[in-house]
C-alpha cells in the first residue's frame, strides 16, 4: 500500500473500511456480500447528496435540473 493510500484509509471511517473488506472477501457468501454492497451504495448516495447540497448552499454549484418524470 502506498503512502497516499494509507493516508486515505485513515480518512474513511473504520465501519466503512470493514464493509469494503467484507465485500472483497471471496470466502464470504454471495448474498452477504450483496447486502454489504447495497449498504455501501446507500452510504455513497447519502455522501454524494450531502456534498451536492453543501455545494449548492455555498453557491459553488447550481442545483441540477430534472426533466419531467426524473429524480
pLDDT of residue 4: 62
**Res 70 pLDDT > 90:** no
How far apart CA 36 and CA 40 sit, in angstroms, is 6
**Res 71 pLDDT > 60:** no
| Grid cell listed for 22 | 467484507
pLDDT of residue 35: 96
Could you tell me which of 11, 55, 50, 38 has the C-alpha nearest to residue 63? 55
Residues 43-71 have a mean pLDDT of: 84
Query: Would you call 18 exposed, middle or buried from its count of C-beta atoms within 10 A (0-12, 13-18, 19+)?
Result: exposed
Place of cell 472483497: 24
Residue pLDDT, tens place only, 16-29: 999 999 999 999 99
Tell me what the pLDDT averaged over the chain comes to: 86
Amino acid at each position: 500500500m502506498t503512502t497516499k493510500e494509507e493516508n486515505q484509509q485513515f480518512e474513511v471511517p473504520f465501519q466503512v473500511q470493514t464493509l469494503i473488506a467484507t465485500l472483497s472477501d471471496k470466502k464470504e457468501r454471495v448474498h452477504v456480500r450483496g447486502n454489504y454492497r447495497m449498504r455501501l451504495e446507500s452510504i455513497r448516495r447519502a455522501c454524494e447528496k450531502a456534498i451536492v447540497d453543501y455545494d449548492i448552499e455555498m453557491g459553488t454549484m447550481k442545483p441540477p435540473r430534472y426533466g419531467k418524470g426524473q429524480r
